[in-house]
Amino acid sequence: MKFSIVIHGAPWSSSASHSALRYAEALLECGHEIVRLFFYQDGASSGSSLCVPPQDEINIPEQWQVLINKHGIDAVVCAASALKRGILDAAEADRYEKNAHNLLPGFAVSGLGQLIDAAGQSDRVVSFVQ
């Protein structure tokens, strides 16, 4: 079956991103397909390459990146959510004349329309709220 997952909370300030990660892993283990991961609101922080948690804590963005790249999952950070929280890819950094970019490879910046599009292609949409 086809699933999309919406992540509303930021790693460490909410459990949403961590729970969604566990759920996504279970989906794939059960043989299901992930149409899209959509990181909305604070969830966009899950795409940051600059998180440095203590060594005995899980690095949630890094684990997302591993999962996304291993399985070729379509992972979108909501553009409006990401930009205002300082999550930028190279193109956005260039466009807004910022001196750095920090979006993890495997994630893409796109609009909220991608959530509606994903829902239309999925048997289930599961949200992990703040």
Partner 1 sequence: MPAMSQSQSPCSYLIIARSSPYGSQQARAALDIALTAAAFEQSVSIVFMDAGVLQLLKNQQADAAGMKNIGKVITALELYEVNSIMVHQEAVDKYDLDPSQFVQSVDVVTSEEIKTLIAGADQVMVL
Partner 2 sequence: MILHTINKNNEALHRCLSLLSDEDAVLLIEDGVYAALSCRENQKLWDTLVPQVKKYAMADDLAVRGVSDRMLPFFERVDWSGFVSLSLEYDKVVSWG
Residues in contact with partner 2 by CB under 8 A are: 1, 3, 15-16, 19, 22-23, 25-27, 29-30, 32, 123-130
In terms of CB distance, is 27 or 67 closer to partner 2? 27
Active site residue 51: no
DSSP 106: T
Residues 62, 65: Cα–Cα separation, whole Å: 5
Binding partner 1 by CB under 8 A: which of 80, 83, 93, 108? 80
Q: Which is nearer to partner 1, 54 or 113 (CB)?
A: 113
Pick one of partner 2, partner 1, none as the site partner of residue 94 (Cβ within 5 to 8 A by kind).
Answer: none
Among partner 2, partner 1, none, what does residue 36 contact (CB within 5–8 Å per kind)? none
**Least distance to partner 2, CB of residue 124, Å:** 5
Tokens of 102: 């920090």
DSSP 104: P
Give the number of other CB atoms < 10 A from CB of residue 91. 11
Tokens at 22, concatenated = 């566990």
The whole-angstrom separation of Cα 9 and Cα 19 is: 10
Report, in angstroms and rounded to the nearest whole number, the Rg of the chain calculated over CA atoms: 14
Instruction: Give 51 or 80: the residue with its C-beta nearer to partner 1.
Output: 80
Q: Which residues are catalytic?
A: 78
